[in-house]
Structure 1
Amino acid sequence: MPELTDLSYVRALCEKYDFALSKGFGQNFIVNPGLPPKIVDASGVDKRYGVLEIGPGIGVLTRELAKRAAKVVSIEVDERLPPLLAETMAGVDNFKLVLQDVLKVDLKALIAQEFPGMPVAVCANLPYYITSPIVMKLLGDRLPIESLTVMVQKEAADRLAAAPGTRASSAISCAVSYYATSKMMFTAAPGSFYPAPKVTSAVVRMEIRPTPAVQVEDEEGYFALVRAAFGQRRKTAANAIASGLGMPKDAVTAAIEAAGFDARIRPEALTLEDFAKIQNALAR
């Protein structure tokens, strides 16, 4: 089998199947041979694991995962890719392709069916245009998975790995931190991909917490509060929450102060525990 990261092979393969890379699907195939082993190393998977991959492309990361894991199930939305994957993954018995939109799949049922009795990890070079919805589905569905190791745009990676209460934090940082502990593993230059994206990429590993970082009674309300707080970046938390939740500003300011904070506090200065205190104060 030729090296799947060999650019001339990738081009010939695409030509053979009349496959044009889709900007709409955010397709950037890995052409740096050192990258797939490094991503799999970061994921920590071994022969005990079932691995769920999202967006296999032509199978560059998929083949490396299949070498190391017990089984790999890859979810792909692009209906033009199966013939290419049939060629690149020929002879790999522990690989299965699921042609679906990951945002519409019942992942709990899929994991139960495909990986009985195995620890499960997610490892993927995610399509960049849809990083946040995919990560939020994987975390929010409370799947029986141990970790997520994903390659994303560096800017998105910074947000996924940022600690709540720090300047880089955002609504997605808070959501990730609620469900998992996250760590930036390494970056990858644009030339590691074909076509080369305009930005640097990075790998983030998220380890799922056994229980959420804070205990809240109304999870939906909690996340609505966090999203509202970050909905208007240059505003104070009080202004943003009042506007985002359609509440009188006086009531929000009073709740923020009752929770022990300055009325002018910015959302990025608030930790998960702080948001829980404000939510409780608002509920009184």
Structure 2
Amino acid sequence: MANQKPAIATPLRTKAIVEAYDLNFKKSLGQNFLTNLTLLQKMVAVAEIGPDDDVIEIGPGIGALTEQLAQKARRVLALEVDQRLLPVLAETLADYQNITVLHQDILAANLAELVEQYLPDHRQIKVVANLPYYITSPIIKSLLQQPVVLSVIVVMMQKEVAERLAAEPRTKAYGALSVLVQYQRKVELALNVPKTSFVPQPKVDSAVIKLSQPIQEYPQLIFPAAFSRVVQGCFLHRRKNLKNNLQSLCGKDETTKTKILASLEYLQILPTSRPEELTISQFIELTNLLGKNNLL
């Protein structure tokens, strides 16, 4: 698998590939190619890729990150939605026999079937990707809902979104996305990525987030199907207090209002509290109690 050419991520090689294929960057697909080799290597290191790991990459672009992953992993399965880039990847990654590139949209793909077909007898699957800004949240939610066991997810995204994912209660960035992701995964803001690392240069900085298996134990969630609805309902209007948001979610008749107030009192949560004041455990307890009181 030795490759005597300069790494794809180097500015000169990236420029040569873009010019050779006359690539026009698609804003609609959020295409920005990373030209900072050191950062890519650090990203691979954050994911702790080893020879027994199979890796799924989303949006390989021209193969800069894919190449670095292939040098460490057992196999790499790269899913690219832009058909124009398939012949580019076939050339740039030709020296690597452990890479499979598919024309696939991660939001439409059946990941379980793809893993069964292309990553059989896998030991551990990790996801490493530079995500398009415009669909970062849907991709994260999709990955967390997959039946495939993903041991680690390391993804680059807009810094603002990364800060929301990692945010603590009682902070401005803390919201529904923070709660829903942190309930399922340990979230670590691993790397900051300046916008100057990309071609074309985006308007904002990026960051790398690491989502690993949770280590904190939360109360048992009795109504898991309703949890997302409750959390999103509580944050629907950030300027409104919990009582008003819960009334919008559950109903505004007098019986429902009384049950909501009784639930909050039981949990020792002030009705005038803002949603960002609640911890993940409190959101779980609130969901459980609303469900028991037939408010969901």
User: TM-score scaled to structure 2, two decimals?
Assistant: 0.90
For structure 2, the residue ranges without an aligned partner over 5 or more in a row are none
Residue 161 of structure 2 corresponds to 156
Residue 126 of structure 1 corresponds to 131
115-124 vs 24-33, greater mean Cα deviation: 115-124
**Alpha-carbon distance in structure 1 between the residues aligned to 2:150 and 2:271:** 39
> Structure 1 86/212 Cα, relative in aligned 2: closer, same or farther at 3 Å?
farther
Verify: 1:195 aligned to 2:200, yes or no. Answer: yes
Query: SS of the residue aligned with 2:262?
Result: helix
CA deviations 1:205-235 (Å, max 9, x no partner) are 0102389844212212111000111111111
Residue 209 of structure 1 corresponds to 214
Contact 1:241 1:252 in 2 (8 A): yes
> Which of 3, 7, 14 in structure 2 is aligned with 1:10?
14
> Structure 1 231/17 Cα, relative in aligned 2: closer, same or farther at 3 Å?
same
Query: SS of the residue aligned with 1:221?
Result: helix
Contact 1:163 1:174 in 2 (8 A): no
Q: Which amino acid aligns with 1:180?
A: R
> Which of 69, 73, 89 in structure 2 is aligned with 1:85?
89
In the TM superposition, residue 160 of structure 1 has moved relative to its aligned partner by 1.2
245-254 vs 101-110, greater mean Cα deviation: 245-254
Contact 1:50 1:72 in 2 (8 A): yes
Residue 269 of structure 2 corresponds to 261
> Structure 1 174/164 Cα, relative in aligned 2: closer, same or farther at 3 Å?
farther
> Which of 101, 114, 117 in structure 2 is aligned with 1:113?
117
Contact 1:45 1:69 in 2 (8 A): yes
Residue 189 of structure 2 corresponds to 184
115-124 vs 97-106, greater mean Cα deviation: 115-124
For structure 1, the residue ranges without an aligned partner over 5 or more in a row are none
Contact 1:50 1:118 in 2 (8 A): yes
CA deviations 1:149-197 (Å, max 9, x no partner) are 0111110000111235654311111111111101111101110011111
Verify: 1:70 aligned to 2:78, yes or no. Answer: no
> Which of 34, 42, 67 in structure 2 is aligned with 1:30?
34
**Alpha-carbon distance in structure 2 between the residues aligned to 1:41 and 1:263:** 45
> Structure 1 247/13 Cα, relative in aligned 2: closer, same or farther at 3 Å?
farther
**Alpha-carbon distance in structure 2 between the residues aligned to 1:63 and 1:179:** 30
Higher Rg of the two aligned structures: 2
In the TM superposition, residue 98 of structure 1 has moved relative to its aligned partner by 1.4
Q: CA RMSD in A?
A: 1.9
Residue 144 of structure 1 corresponds to 149
Query: SS of the residue aligned with 1:240?
Result: helix
In the TM superposition, residue 242 of structure 1 has moved relative to its aligned partner by 2.1
**Alpha-carbon distance in structure 2 between the residues aligned to 1:112 and 1:145:** 14
**Alpha-carbon distance in structure 2 between the residues aligned to 1:189 and 1:83:** 29
Contact 1:56 1:75 in 2 (8 A): yes
**Alpha-carbon distance in structure 2 between the residues aligned to 1:211 and 1:168:** 21
> Structure 1 72/201 Cα, relative in aligned 2: closer, same or farther at 3 Å?
same
**Alpha-carbon distance in structure 2 between the residues aligned to 1:57 and 1:117:** 25
Q: Which amino acid aligns with 1:123?
A: V
> Structure 1 98/144 Cα, relative in aligned 2: closer, same or farther at 3 Å?
same
Query: SS of the residue aligned with 2:265?
Result: helix
Q: Which amino acid aligns with 1:260?
A: Q
User: TM-score scaled to structure 1, two decimals?
Assistant: 0.93
> Which of 102, 105, 112 in structure 2 is aligned with 1:101?
105
Query: SS of the residue aligned with 2:134?
Result: helix
Residue 225 of structure 2 corresponds to 220
In the TM superposition, residue 107 of structure 1 has moved relative to its aligned partner by 1.0
> Which of 275, 280, 288 in structure 2 is aligned with 1:272?
280
Query: SS of the residue aligned with 2:122?
Result: coil
